Structure 1
Amino acid sequence: MNTLQVTLSLDLASIRPIRLAPPPDTPPRCTRCDCLGSEKITRTTNRKGNAGRHYYKYLPCDKFLCFIDDRGNDPTNPSCHCEVSSKTYLAGSEKRVPRGLFFACRLGACDFHQPFRNSRGQHITVSSYDLADHLINLRLI
């Protein structure tokens, strides 16, 4: 697996906000069992930057579908199998460094999953918690 560690310097004041694509407005159906997704809320003790976020999950399959917010919903992200722009996620936990960026269906309606790669095809990772916090605060991941 090719990974790339990047040192990144950002002037956060110079970054213009992007207009984010909308989150799903209805729960998706499971492609395996046709059950309807249920809305859940992450625990306030979640240490991955997701505390209190609403999400959809298939309870019978115990499968996470998507977060129900616009965080990471950049309309320039690659299209998923549903032909809508995907959502950017940060994989892994605080115990796994570096944490990889990836794209997944922002509606939770298909099984699209694609690593976030740079122009040389290397998987982009985030190894700094401070950088991850900034990206989360900017609603980019």
Structure 2
Amino acid sequence: MAFTVPFNGQGTDPNMQCDPMLTESSFNNELDSLINGMSQMSILPEIIASGLYNPRRLPFPQEPPICCRCGTRSVPDRVPSSNRLGDADRPCYRCDNDACWWRTGAYQGLLTYTDPRGNLPWNPECTCGAPSKLMMQNIILPDGMRELYYCCRLGKCSFYAVPRDKYGAQVRVPHTEAPYYIKRAVF
């Protein structure tokens, strides 16, 4: 099975960061290998799966957003290199207020990532009125799946929504497939 991939090296957005060793041919070969090599590849809704073959991504915020929970300006940071779920060393903005409940909670003040992953232009609008960011939970469920969700791409609001499949269930992907989607900046 072959896919035609619109590919121009850097995508259509100057913030899009592609693998410099990736060519259209190698992208198609790798995608074909992925699809043919996985016996139970998850069936994603087309609106999400189209991110595999459409490299267009929206920009991430260039200026640190204000935390919508406490009003403090965020600071540039990186996810610890010890993260084993696909986010190691990923650039982000975090709330810098130690008194903020968001800073002390499970997300440790993370407001948004400063990379093109998940910035699909067709994602639903968040409370800010801009397309949201598609993300993957940092929890592997007992069945080996990880849930997807939408959040504010700009890091300015507390938007959260769940993508649903045609049966109304939250969209999930096998943890073993996550690297392929991450490499293609789908989520």
Unaligned runs of 5+ in 2: 1-39, 44-51, 104-108
Contact 1:47 1:94 in 2 (8 A): no
Residue 8 of structure 1 corresponds to 41
Displacement of 1:116 = 1.5
Distance apart, 1:45 and its partner CA = 2.0
In the alignment, structure 1 residue 77 sits paired with structure 2 residue 123: yes
Partners in 1 of 2:42 and 2:70 — Cα distance? 46
Helix, strand or coil at the partner of 1:85: coil
**Which range moves more in the overlay, 110-119 or 67-76?**
110-119
**TM-score, normalised to structure 1's length?**
0.84
Q: What is the aligned partner in structure 2 of residue 135 from structure 1?
A: 181
Name the Cα RMSD after superposition: 1.8
For the Cα contact (< 8 Å) 1:89–1:104, is it kept in 2?
yes
Structure whose alpha-carbon radius of gyration is higher? 2
Gapped regions of structure 1 (runs ≥ 5): 1-6
| Bigger proportion of residues as strand | 1
* Structure 1 residues 41 and 93: CA distance shift in structure 2, 3 A: same
Match of 2:56 among 19, 38, 42: 19
How many residue pairs match? The answer is: 130
Secondary structure in structure 1 of the residue aligned to 2:182: helix
* Greater CA drift, 54-63 or 119-128: 119-128
- Partners of 1:37 and 1:56 within 8 A in 2: yes
* Alpha-carbon distance in structure 1 between the residues aligned to 2:118 and 2:166: 20
Identity %: 32
Cα distance in 1 between the residues matched to 2:94 and 2:79? 11
